[in-house]
Amino acid sequence: MRILENNFYIKYVKKFFCAFVLLAFSFSTLAQDQKRISVIQDSLKLTLADTIDIRLLTELSTLHTFSNGKLSARYSEEAIKLAEKVDDPKFKVLAYQTAAHNFTSSGNYSSALRYDNLALENDIALRDSSSIAMDYNNIGDDYYDLGEYDDAFFYFTQSLRVAKEADDTLRTLVAMHNVGRVFKELGQYDQALSHLKKSMKMSEQFNDKEGIPYSLNEIADVLFRRQKYDSALMMFMDALTLSRKEKIFLLESVILTKIAGVHVVKNDFSKAKAYYDSAYAIHQKSENKLGMAEIELGRGDALMREKNFDDALQKVEASLALAKSLNARVLEIKCYNQLSALWELKGDHSRALSYYKQFKLLEDTLFSQDMQGKLLRDQVRFETEARDTQSAREQARLVDALKKQQFVRNILVVVMALSGILLITVYRSGQRRRKINMLLLQHQDEMEKRSEELERLNQVKDKFFSIISHDLRSPINALAGLLDLLDKGAVKPEEMHLHTQELKVRFNHTRTLLNNLLDWTLLQMDKLNLQAAKINIHRIVEENIQLLIAVQAKNIKVLNNVPANAIGFADSNTINLVIRNLMTNAIKFTNDGGVVKIDAEERGHEWLISVKDNGVGIKPEVLNILFDKTAPYTTRGTANEKGTGLGLILCKEFVEKNGGKIWAESAEGTGSTFWFTLPKAN
């Protein structure tokens, strides 16, 4: 659910062209948009101020959004050029938001994200809280449509926070609605329904007629996913009626597609086809390629259920091609899954397995442990902020109560001046209250400390199990798939070696993950004991080279330039893990044919050790957070290798516990060098 603000030009034009403004204002009461378009086009031919032209262009772009996508985009581009020429943040925001809305309507969410971010930058400069809340919501909506649910959740909750602080009811209910949509995609249906129903209730209370069909559509989708098809269909029809009444064309096409999906699972294919055709016509009009691709996938599902496999295959492949061109990863996952099922029904188990692997790989990438960890952190942050807000309100009420008590006490002081006995009595009573308050404050401090400790331990536990539950599933699923194919006799003997190698790589990754997780957990719980002794750095590097060369699949040359006399004084197990993690990272982000060098030189009472590669390098903004244990960062390597974001955090803590320091230097595109120091042995 996206917000677009394009209020007409009264505020900024009145002092220049009063007569023109009155005419323009009257358009808001006209029923026919064509008349409105004609007069605005005539106005553009006049010699008016640039700021007036920007508003005219954005208005034209919005009016053409669902009737002529190319013309809408042209007006939007002209508005952006003019706004950047004027260099006024207010008009930049208007132009950027209009462009983002235009791209969203055509299914180009990556481009929409770019302009929504530009709008946010300018609104921050303007310090406009309500508009900032809207920008956060729109950015979250872009990430939602791209399938980046962790980023979507972050921006939606940010929008909710800012909207509540600004006391903006519309943006609060929209953000609440969108948080519910994320919970729906994550399968947390009770949480989703809670947020969606709250949002719809707010829409009804504040007469937000457009918000009600949006909420009905999402609630119906939850019912559909819970296989309550009849109830879902009734609610979808109510949402469709309201969306048509309010002329919300983009929502209307979405609802039509979902209604068609309900008829597909109910095996009523004639009705499904009719609804798909209606939705497709709306998407064609607005040139929404993503919407058309989703309909092609739905048609393919219907054809497959009718056992028309060849036509179904053609539809799903067409949908997949569009999904890839738009970077629509959620739709791409659905296409791979559908193709796997199709080829299974056609009896081609080899192709079915191939598409199933692509489905699992992309699903693992999209719903990685990093995304789930980030979602967990954002959810905890969101709930913590809500508790903090409630606590702040309670504290404000307490302060108010204390002020009232002070007022009463002051009155009593005047009265006590007339009565010595009463003065002594009240004084002693005040003393007792102060002692009690002190005891209560001390008790509160102790409870807060205990709560923080329990929260920290709980976060460690949640992080540990969320990562384990995700990454252990991948190799087990792969093994289960292979065993199933073996049982069916679908794997040839000569293919067995290839599948075994793939499983070996997955289990090697899982073993490394578990080792890092266990060490990380011991660190968090202060259970790791270090035993410093003399260690041969050259030998440790050489052993790790032999180990990593044996398991890595890329053709990378690893050079050990550490002097043979490099003897340090540290814990051998932790330093071995540091060197192995740094070498693994270097190999991970170096392309085939690259070189990784490990060097060491004496610096006073220390050894300075470096791991250098000529790989892809690191962006400056990422370099600043590599060792931040509050937000582990990870990304896939040059061969799509996975990571957890814990390796560099472990390196930092282990090096520091051994009396050294660690840092990194990098230039994007030319490689990276990681440095750390260790005490020399006496």
Judge whether residue 451 has pLDDT over 90.
no
Percent of the chain with pLDDT over 90: 17
Judge whether residue 168 has pLDDT over 80.
yes
**pTM of full prediction above 0.85:** no
Does 216 or 14 have the greater pLDDT score?
Answer: 216
Judge whether residue 18 has pLDDT over 60.
no
Summarised one tens digit per residue, pLDDT across range 227-239 is 999 999 999 999 9
Query: Between β-strands 595-603 and 557-561, what pairing exists: parallel, antiparallel or unpaired?
Result: parallel
Report yes or no: 304 and 341 within 8 Å, Cβ to Cβ.
yes
Report yes or no: 67 and 287 within 8 Å, Cβ to Cβ.
no
| Interaxial angle between packed helices 89-105 and 69-86, expressed in degrees from 0 to 180 and rounded to the nearest 10 | 160
Residue 66: φ, ψ to 5°: -105, 5
**Rounded mean pLDDT of 631-656?**
69
Summarised one tens digit per residue, pLDDT across range 490-547 is 767 777 776 676 666 666 656 666 666 666 666 666 666 778 899 999 999 998 898 8
Report yes or no: 116 and 142 within 8 Å, Cβ to Cβ.
yes
Summarised one tens digit per residue, pLDDT across range 66-84 is 677 788 888 888 888 888 8
The dihedral formed by the CA atoms of 195, 201, 206 and 207, expressed in degrees to the nearest 10 = 120
Which residue type sits at 446? E
| Interaxial angle between packed helices 169-185 and 149-165, expressed in degrees from 0 to 180 and rounded to the nearest 10 | 160
68 DSSP 8-state letter: -
Handedness of CA 59, 65, 71, 73 (dihedral sign): positive
Cβ–Cβ contacts within 10 Å for residue 563, how many? 13
**Rounded mean pLDDT of 197-207?**
89
Mean pLDDT across the chain: 79
Q: How far apart are CA 602 and CA 611, in angstroms?
A: 15
Judge whether residue 410 has pLDDT over 60.
yes
Contact residues for 475 (Cβ-Cβ < 8 A; gap 6+)? 503, 506, 507, 509, 510
Residue 513: φ, ψ to 5°: -60, -50
Using CA atoms, how far residue 220 sits from 141, 184, 215, 216, 452, in Å, is 19, 11, 8, 6, 40
Q: How far apart are CA 665 and CA 673, in angstroms?
A: 5
Q: How far apart are CA 333 and CA 312, in angstroms?
A: 17
| Secondary structure E strands in 285-413 | none
Does 365 or 605 have the greater pLDDT score?
Answer: 605
pLDDT given at position 608: 95
pLDDT given at position 15: 30
Q: How far apart are CA 371 and CA 153, in angstroms?
A: 11
Report yes or no: 679 and 606 within 8 Å, Cβ to Cβ.
yes
Cβ–Cβ contacts within 10 Å for residue 564, how many? 11
Chain-centre distance of CA 637, in angstroms?
20
pLDDT given at position 535: 93
Angle at the Cα of 94 from the Cα atoms of 93 and 98, rounded to 5 degrees: 115
pLDDT given at position 31: 44
Which residue type sits at 658? N
Report yes or no: 533 and 680 within 8 Å, Cβ to Cβ.
no
pLDDT given at position 525: 61
Cβ–Cβ contacts within 10 Å for residue 538, how many? 18
pLDDT given at position 150: 81
Q: How far apart are CA 337 and CA 138, in angstroms?
A: 30
